[in-house]
Amino acid sequence: MKMNGGNKRYALGKVVCLGSSSEGNAYYIEINRKGYPTPFNLLIECGFQYKELTKRLLKNGLSIRKIDAFLVTHEHHDHSLAVPKLVEYGKKVFAPKSVFEHYGILDQVNVNQIITIKPNKKSTTFRLADEIDVVGFELEHKNNDGSMTFNLGYIIKANCDFGLHRILFVTDTYYIRYNLSNIKFNTIFIEANNFARNLIFSIKEAQAKGDKFKEIHFDRVLHSHFLVENTIKTLVGTKKMNGFDLSETDMIYLIHLSASGNVNPYEIKSKVYETLRKKRKLRTIEHKGKIFLSPKVYVFRKNGEIIWKLILSIQALFITWLMKKGKSYLKRDIIKIYKTKLKN
Ligand SMILES: [Zn+2]
């Protein structure tokens, strides 16, 4: 029985997702810094209209006034829509230069909040707040026209009572160019957009219907977002590639699932757990006399809710098997039945 990382799970307070998909992303994290009586409140991404963002925060008992800093990965609106208003209202927004340029507000921002990577450098490090440093590194993401988007992954290093707490945040990329296998992440946020087979099915369907727009869209997703298969490979590694060091990881949050509705969050969750178990990456930790299985895997729905019922994943696998076997009219009916079941 490994007893690793049990204390570190309390380096973070609340983690609340306000939305997670191409329809809008925002993730609220409380960081308990060393020497501070109250947590540092961080919002990663703000991909909603300002009003909608405040509404979603309020719904979760949170106030935008209490957020100490905002961190944004790239200019796409599902990640950055509230940036202009936040800057206008004097909030501390950290984002790549391209985000502020996109909204024409570069001159209104404090220079230490503008993130750039020097040519020939792999990454940049900046101070988010006292006891919190962030490493930004470039990811592989595309615009609708096929050109590259400047999109950053972040490693947030917070000095907490139990030592350094490392948070990885990666979304909107189809792989990670850099080897991060030597970093012991405590908390991981990583995109798990869709299964390759769903996207390939969607591309073929669009081709058959002669729908060029959809064909290009799904093809872009295929080369611009993390497929579940790649998310898993990145987490646990392959023969050719080292996976992450998960020996101190307590939480894995799977984010930015496809909004198309043809992806089953329960199947994603069970696939990830299954692989972690097979690769012996799960460990037991003890805290206050209770035994926990670690890391825990959480999947966010597009409205920010976490999926809980693990028992449903068996049902989900069965339905997915049926879907693969069934014709598309049958598939639609099954999805309908499944969705109403979930609602109840
Ligand atoms: Zn994007």
Rounded to the nearest angstrom, the distance between the alpha carbon of 77 and the centre of ligand 1 is 8
b or e along 108-134 (b: 16 or more beta carbons within 10 Å of the residue's beta carbon)? ebeeebbbebeeeeeebeeebbebbeb
Whether 3 shows a pLDDT value over 50: the answer reads no
344 pLDDT band (50/70/90 cuts)?
very low
Q: Pick the residue with more confidence: 50 or 334?
A: 50
Rounded to the nearest angstrom, the distance between the alpha carbon of 27 and the centre of ligand 1 is 15
C-alpha to C-alpha distance for 266 and 10, rounded to whole angstroms: 27
- Least confidently predicted of 111-120, 260-269, 317-326: 317-326
284 Rama class: left (phi>0) / alpha (psi -120 to 50) / beta: beta
- Least confidently predicted of 29-38, 129-138, 177-186, 302-311: 302-311
Alpha helices in the chain (DSSP H): 50-59, 77-80, 83-88, 97-102, 196-209, 212-222, 228-236, 265-278, 312-325, 328-343
142 pLDDT band (50/70/90 cuts)?
confident
Whether 315 shows a pLDDT value over 70: the answer reads no
The pLDDT, as a whole number, for residue 291 is: 77
Rounded to the nearest angstrom, the distance between the alpha carbon of 20 and the centre of ligand 1 is 12
Q: Pick the residue with more confidence: 4 or 260?
A: 260
C-alpha to C-alpha distance for 77 and 74, rounded to whole angstroms: 9
The total of other beta-carbon atoms located within 10 Å of residue 343's CB is: 6
The pLDDT, as a whole number, for residue 332 is: 56
Report whether 113 contacts 96 (CB < 8 A).
no
C-alpha to C-alpha distance for 74 and 80, rounded to whole angstroms: 7
The pLDDT, as a whole number, for residue 220 is: 83
The pLDDT, as a whole number, for residue 4 is: 37
Whether 5 shows a pLDDT value over 50: the answer reads no
Domain ranges within the chain, ordered by starting residue:
8-196+227-308, 313-344
The pLDDT, as a whole number, for residue 185 is: 97
Structure tokens at 232: 């898993």
What is the architecture of the domain spanning 8-196+227-308?
4-Layer Sandwich (3.60)
The pLDDT, as a whole number, for residue 317 is: 64
Whether 159 shows a pLDDT value over 80: the answer reads yes
Its pTM stands at 0.86
Segment 320-325 shows an average pLDDT of 63
Around ion ligand 1, which residues have CB less than 5 A away?
76, 172
Side-chain-side CA neighbours of residue 247 (13 Å): 8
Rounded to the nearest angstrom, the distance between the alpha carbon of 144 and the centre of ligand 1 is 9
224 pLDDT band (50/70/90 cuts)?
confident
Q: Pick the residue with more confidence: 113 or 328?
A: 113
213 pLDDT band (50/70/90 cuts)?
confident
Residue with tokens 């609708």: 144
The pLDDT, as a whole number, for residue 210 is: 92
Residue 79, classified by CB atoms within 10 Å of its CB into exposed (0-12), middle (13-18) or buried (19+), is buried
Rounded to the nearest angstrom, the distance between the alpha carbon of 76 and the centre of ligand 1 is 5
Q: Which segment, 133-147, 154-168, 285-299, is predicted with the most confidence on average?
A: 154-168
Rounded to the nearest angstrom, the distance between the alpha carbon of 75 and the centre of ligand 1 is 7
The pLDDT, as a whole number, for residue 187 is: 96
Report whether 196 contacts 261 (CB < 8 A).
no
Rounded to the nearest angstrom, the distance between the alpha carbon of 236 and the centre of ligand 1 is 25
Residues linked to residue 19 through DSSP beta bridges, in sequence order:
26
Share of the chain above pLDDT 70, in %: 87
320 pLDDT band (50/70/90 cuts)?
low
Tell me what the pLDDT averaged over the chain comes to.
88
Q: Pick the residue with more confidence: 87 or 263?
A: 87
Rounded to the nearest angstrom, the distance between the alpha carbon of 15 and the centre of ligand 1 is 22
Q: How far is CA 188 from the centre of its chain?
A: 8
Rounded to the nearest angstrom, the distance between the alpha carbon of 173 and the centre of ligand 1 is 8
Rounded to the nearest angstrom, the distance between the alpha carbon of 141 and the centre of ligand 1 is 7
C-alpha to C-alpha distance for 185 and 232, rounded to whole angstroms: 15
Rounded to the nearest angstrom, the distance between the alpha carbon of 171 and the centre of ligand 1 is 8
The pLDDT, as a whole number, for residue 1 is: 31
Rounded to the nearest angstrom, the distance between the alpha carbon of 74 and the centre of ligand 1 is 7
Segment 138-166 shows an average pLDDT of 92
Rounded to the nearest angstrom, the distance between the alpha carbon of 253 and the centre of ligand 1 is 18
Phi/psi at 285 (5° precision): -125, 155
Rounded to the nearest angstrom, the distance between the alpha carbon of 79 and the centre of ligand 1 is 7
